[in-house]
Structure 1
Amino acid sequence: MLADPFVLLLAGHYAGDYLFQSDHMSEHKAEKSLTGWLANGAHAACHIGVTLVLLLSARALIGLDISATGTCAALAWVGLSHGLIDRRWIVERWMRHTGSTVYFESGRGAPMVDQALHIVAGITPAALLLTALH
């Protein structure tokens, strides 16, 4: 049962990051200001909303076995983890402490590490929550 929630959470992630994220969210979500926190919160809320629609659609259309408790826990984790990772300091710290400083400073590595963190630390635990709490 883990595969279905994981695929839906991954689809929600990509939709939230690439289909529904506005330029304003993208440009400001990491700023240390009220604007930054609001943009970050709006972006995390977008992820929660699109993922909820996907999960409820799968429940209605294919009978995906998810509970309200598991869904709430998974969505809370998606929102919190996504918002935290997108503040960008975790990505920078990770890259500097794993010997990828040059890759980080070139601007090429951070987007890939960002996506890897979202999958490993965000989506996977959320899928496990959905599966365990059904």
Structure 2
Amino acid sequence: MGADQAAIFAAVAITWLVAHQAGDYWVQSDHQAAHKGGPGWAGRRACAAHVATYTATQAGALALVAWVLGLALDPLQVAAGLAISAGTHYIADRRTPLRRLAGWAGHGGFYARGTGLASGAAYLDQSWHWVWIGVGALVAAA
């Protein structure tokens, strides 16, 4: 990866991390937040709707940043990076897969500690999102 690609990676990563905060907290509806981890199709639909608005927030933010900074981005690579972010976001926000992964990794106790946004579950959720945003940004910049 050359210096230009490294700069693009940095721009994409920070843009998507900023957009993540907006999409995960400001753009997400109360209904989506309350039901995205719920059982059955209602939970799946709420999570899919959240991930759709979240991903649109990331895409819109990157389009703006790319336009302002004149970034040369490959649309297919950006789409692949967004798909990584969206798919892994859905997995985490369905709750059960992340809880199982935490248990498998020896972090089940931490996952279960606390309540709401002051819980191990919330911290592991956010760190999972950040890791995959970084991977997606790398794919978008490669």
TM surpasses 0.5: yes
Residue-by-residue CA offset, 1:7-41 (whole Å, 9 max, x unaligned): 01111111111111111111111112111011001
Superposed displacement of residue 88, structure 1: 1.1
8 Å contact from structure 2 (residues 28, 54) kept in 1: no
2:120 corresponds to 1:109: yes
2:3 is aligned to none
Equivalent residue, structure 1, for 2:106: 99
Structure-1 residue corresponding to 2:4: none
The answer to whether 1:68 aligns with 2:79 is: no
1:45 counterpart (52, 61, 70): 52
Residues 12, 54 of structure 1: 8 Å contact kept: yes
Q: Which sections of structure 2, spanning at least 5 residues, go unmatched?
A: 1-6
Q: Which residue does 2:137 correspond to in 1?
A: 127
Q: Contact 1:29–1:36 at 8 Å: present in 2 too?
A: yes
What is the alpha-carbon root mean square deviation over aligned residues?
A: 1.3
- 1:90: Cα distance to partner? 2.6
Partner of 1:50, secondary structure, is: helix
CA distance in 2, matches of 1:33, 1:52: 28
Q: TM-score, normalised by structure 1?
A: 0.90
User: Runs ≥4 in structure 1, deviation > 4 angstroms?
Assistant: none
Cα distance in 2 for residues equivalent to 1:81 and 1:104: 18
Distance in structure 2 (CA, Å) of the matches to 1:101 and 1:70: 35
Measure, in 2, the Cα distance between the counterparts of 1:58 and 1:65. 11
Kept in 1: contact 2:37–2:47 (CA 8 A): yes
Task: Confirm or deny: 8 A CA contact 2:81 2:137 kept in the other structure.
Answer: yes
SS at match of 2:73: coil
Separation (CA, whole Å) in 1 of partners of 2:58 and 2:47: 17
Are the counterparts in 2 of residues 47 and 78 from structure 1 also a CA contact under 8 Å? no
Q: In the alignment, what sits opposite 1:58?
A: 65
**1:82 match: secondary structure:** helix
